[in-house]
Amino acid sequence: MVAFLVGLRNLGDEGFAAHSLWLEFEALDTAVYMHDISLQKRGVRVLSHINLKIPRGVVFGLIGPRGSGKTSFLRVLLGQEKPTTGQVFVLGEKVSDRGYPNRVGCMRHEHGLIEFLTVERNLKRFSRSCGVRRSDFTWHEERVLSELEIDHLKNRPVRSLDSDSKRLVSLACAELGNPEILLLDEPMASSGEKFRQVLQKSIILRKNTGRTTILATDKFTNASMCDAACVLDLGRIVREMASAEQ
């Protein structure tokens, strides 16, 4: 492989074009394909030479302590951070600065909900960013609220909900457009048993319907539901694991 890449470089522009085609071929049928991704911010390298393939339809764990680069990794996938080097493909397409709002959902550690609005109004607000058409909103809303067992909260203001219910509403916003890939950034930090149980059911449902979930966590125990995982430390992948190793 090294000799092949060196040969491509020696071919100049033709080699670069061939290399790009090779990367696109490698990215086919994957949920995520990262080739030599590095990211530098304010002179500090936060991701370093990441090479990773995530198949479609799996639950993938991204494990690492705080400051290891997990959030930057997710931001690169969303097109919110442009890598200093390398290329990223999501669902077989090269990531642009605009990202993929219709195909990738993200639940962040901070829920981002407007407390005085009802659950339904918050979902309508998020529907604009995930590409849900107004005519399709009711169907998507009913589906996701039922799957997450919070349909009875639809008309409640968010500020009246307990912590786990707020997390489930945040998850509902991320899943509203039925995305092919769902990114979860430390979803279980400080969460209760109710949220954990519903989240696990949702992840299993997604897997059974061929959708991909990427779970970022700082605890190995939270990755027990994953099919595969990698350990990130100081911006580098230091270990990759199949489910039997976890």
- Which of residues 9 and 122 earns the better pLDDT score? 122
Mean pLDDT of 211-218: 95
CB 112, CB 170: distance < 8 Å: yes
- Which of residues 105 and 189 earns the better pLDDT score? 105
Q: What is the pLDDT of residue 101?
A: 54
Q: What is the pLDDT of residue 244?
A: 45
pLDDT mean across residues, the chain: 86
Domains of the chain (ranges; CATH) run 56-82+93-245 (3.40.50.300)
Of the listed ranges 10-19, 54-63, 138-147, 207-216, the one predicted with least confidence: 10-19
Q: What is the pLDDT of residue 26?
A: 66
Q: Is the pLDDT of residue 78 over 80?
A: yes
Mean pLDDT of 119-148: 92
Query: pLDDT for 91-120, tens place per residue?
Result: 988 886 555 557 899 998 777 899 999 999
Of the listed ranges 60-64, 71-75, 115-119, 190-194, the one predicted with least confidence: 190-194
Q: How far is CA 175 from CA 41, 122, 135, 171, in A?
A: 30, 13, 17, 6
> What is the value of pTM for the model shown?
0.85
CA distance 178 to 166: 19
Q: Is the pLDDT of residue 207 over 70?
A: yes
Mean pLDDT of 217-232: 89
Q: Is the pLDDT of residue 174 over 70?
A: yes
Output the furthest CA–CA distance in the chain (Å, rounded).
64
- Of 52, 31, 186, which Cα lies nearest the Cα of 106? 186
User: Please, which pLDDT band fits residue 85 given cuts at 50, 70 and 90?
Assistant: very high
- Which of residues 39 and 240 earns the better pLDDT score? 39
Sheet holding 30-41, edge to edge: 44-55, 30-41, 85-90, 93-94
Instruction: Tally the residues of the chain.
Output: 246
